[in-house]
């Protein structure tokens, strides 16, 4: 290694004055003085609106990339790339994770139609008990609003909050989930949840059987359990859930 030029000969030659790649240092930073990060006095902003559309910034970016790589940068990338590729699980499934009271549940993401804000509930006369809470207006259509809390044997919430600004427990905002049966693709159900954590990909291998300690009614609808951010999440059996909803609402 006494002669670094010879050792490095094949990989590249040191930068010389006559490089086809141009200068190695940015010439100015007008975007910081008269551009969007400065006082916005640049006349070119009339044309380009934002510095990111301006060829001057594009040139500067190009110049930036003409630098030699910083110390340790390539070596750290080398280490990253030595990690073997984790085979992607083709059997992964997407689920929508949400919270009811203190428990986390999930439904297959394909059943989800929309997540929307809480909104006023239209009560149905003489149907005060049971799981049917009433009807809600979702994009101009009245949909059946059920209490999933009650179905799953959790402490039933008194009623849907009257205004969207109301939150269920003062913390995370409650949401309405609109779900649809995949089999029929016609029946839609709306229920309130206390928090929506979004759609998560869960690998089939990460799912495990429901232990017998789970409360009876929740276990009845839980297909499998999986861990998500340190929480056990119960994946609900959509077929059983929707069939029971239908039976209990019409019954």
Nearer to other proteins, 70 or 158 (CB): 70
Nearer to other proteins, 67 or 182 (CB): 67
CA-based nearest residue to 36, from 26, 45, 27, 28: 45
Minimum distance from CB of 12 to other proteins (Å)? 4
Is position 122 an interface residue for other proteins (rule: CB under 8 A)?
no
- What tokens does 153 get? 């044997």
In this structure, the strands spanning 175-180 and 188-193 are antiparallel
Minimum distance from CB of 250 to other proteins (Å)? 52
Is position 78 an interface residue for other proteins (rule: CB under 8 A)?
yes
Q: Which of 17, 83, 165, 209 binds other proteins (CB under 8 A)?
A: 83
Residue 149: CB partners within 8 Å, gap ≥ 6? 100, 101, 155, 156, 157, 192
- What tokens does 62 get? 């190009």
Is position 69 an interface residue for other proteins (rule: CB under 8 A)?
yes
Nearer to other proteins, 79 or 126 (CB): 79
Minimum distance from CB of 65 to other proteins (Å)? 4
Is position 20 an interface residue for other proteins (rule: CB under 8 A)?
yes
Quickly list H helices, the chain. Answer: 4-7, 30-33, 45-48, 55-65, 73-82, 148-151, 216-221, 238-250
Is position 52 an interface residue for other proteins (rule: CB under 8 A)?
no
SS3 state of residue 110: helix
Is position 62 an interface residue for other proteins (rule: CB under 8 A)?
yes
Adjacent-strand bridge partners of 103: 100
Region of 76-84, 116-124, 131-139, 167-175 interacting with other proteins (CB under 8 A): 76-84
Quickly list H helices, 98-237. Answer: 148-151, 216-221
Is position 12 an interface residue for other proteins (rule: CB under 8 A)?
yes
Nearer to other proteins, 10 or 139 (CB): 10
- With 0-12 / 13-18 / 19 or more C-beta atoms within 10 angstroms meaning exposed / middle / buried, residue 77 is exposed
CA-based nearest residue to 134, from 176, 97, 90: 176
Is position 88 an interface residue for other proteins (rule: CB under 8 A)?
no
Q: Which of 1, 6, 17, 81 binds other proteins (CB under 8 A)?
A: 81
Q: Which spans of this chain sit near other proteins (rule: CB under 8 A)?
A: 10-13, 15, 19-21, 24, 61-62, 64-70, 73-75, 77-78, 81-85
């Amino acid at each position: 290694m006494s002669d670094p030029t010879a050792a490095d000969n094949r990989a590249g030659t040191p930068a010389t004055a006559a490089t086809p790649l141009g200068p190695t240092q940015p010439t100015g930073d007008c975007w910081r003085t008269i551009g969007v990060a400065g006082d916005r006095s640049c006349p070119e902003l009339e044309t380009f609106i934002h510095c990111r559309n301006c060829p001057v910034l594009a040139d500067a970016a190009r110049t930036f990339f003409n630098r030699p790589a910083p110390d340790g940068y390539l070596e750290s990338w080398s280490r990253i790339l030595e990690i073997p590729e984790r085979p992607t699980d083709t059997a992964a499934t997407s689920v929508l994770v949400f919270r009811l009271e203190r428990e986390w549940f999930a439904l297959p993401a394909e059943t989800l139609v929309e997540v929307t804000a809480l909104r006023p509930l239209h009560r149905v006369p003489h149907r005060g008990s049971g799981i049917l809470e009433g009807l809600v207006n979702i994009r101009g259509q009245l949909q059946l609003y059920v209490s999933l809390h009650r179905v799953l044997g959790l402490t039933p919430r008194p009623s849907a909050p009257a205004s969207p600004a109301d939150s269920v427990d003062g913390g995370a905002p409650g949401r309405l989930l609109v779900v649809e049966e995949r089999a029929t693709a016609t029946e839609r159900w709306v229920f309130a949840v206390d928090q929506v954590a979004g759609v998560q990909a869960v690998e089939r291998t990460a799912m495990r059987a429901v232990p017998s300690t789970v409360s009876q009614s929740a276990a009845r609808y839980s297909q499998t359990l999986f861990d998500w951010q340190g929480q056990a999440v119960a994946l609900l059996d959509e077929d059983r859930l929707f069939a029971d909803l239908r039976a209990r609402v019409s019954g």
